[in-house]
Amino acid sequence: MDDLTTLLNLGGIAAIALGAVAFLWRVSQPRTTQHADFVLGYPADQFPAHDVVGTPALQALTETQARLLSIYTGLSPATETANVLYSFLHELRAIMDLAYRVALVTRAYGQPTQLDQLVREVQAIEKELADYVIERLLAYEADSQMDLLTRRLAALQQCARDLIPTAEGQVPLLHDEAAARPTTALSTRARSS
């Protein structure tokens, strides 16, 4: 019985350990979110005041959200750019909810000017985010093109080496940059000494 109890205890400990490892693995995975995580615009079931939802300020916030969401869905979820945009989209949703509540409370008095200011601020941030995304995508594209060119040059050099295996027959354009650099006055003097 002692052996059976020990075996059951070890099995229980192993199950707990496996559960903890599975939990840690799941938590540590990068978040791959989709646009379904966001409430889009002002759905009628959650925001029933149609007259408030139709105000220019709230419509502008909805359009900003739609534009940023379309950019976000085009990005790879594991990138820093997607994480920045994801965070802002969550902040924007909270701003949109607050704007709705403010417009709802103040609708008898007309749209407050603070909502117009809020829309201008959000649109300024949208422009900055769009510029940031464009800059990051262009930098990534440039890095990808440089990597592609480097790999193609290495493949071309290998083909040249395979075709001309002897040192006498090497193609001068495919040598290392150091060998192809023009000699300086200092290196010419060192050779003449």
Dihedral Cα 160, 164, 168, 170, nearest 10 deg:
-10
Report how far residue 61's alpha carbon sits from residue 39's, in angstroms, rounded to the nearest whole number: 13
**By the 8 A CB rule, do 37 and 43 touch?**
no
* DSSP three-state, residue 41: coil
Q: Amino acid identity of 129? A: L
Q: Which residue has the higher pLDDT, 42 or 22?
A: 42
Q: What is the pLDDT of residues 86-104, one digit of tens each?
A: 999 999 999 999 999 999 9
- Token readout for 181 is 């650099």
Q: What is the pLDDT of residues 120-179, one digit of tens each?
A: 999 999 999 888 888 888 876 666 667 667 777 777 777 777 777 555 555 555 555 545
Compute CA 45 distance to the chain's CA centroid, rounded to the nearest angstrom: 32
Dihedral Cα 84, 90, 96, 98, nearest 10 deg:
-120
CA distances from 89 to 119, 170, 191 (A): 14, 57, 65
**pLDDT at res. 172:** 55
Q: Give backbone dihedrals phi and psi of 32, rounded to 5 degrees, phi first.
A: -110, 90
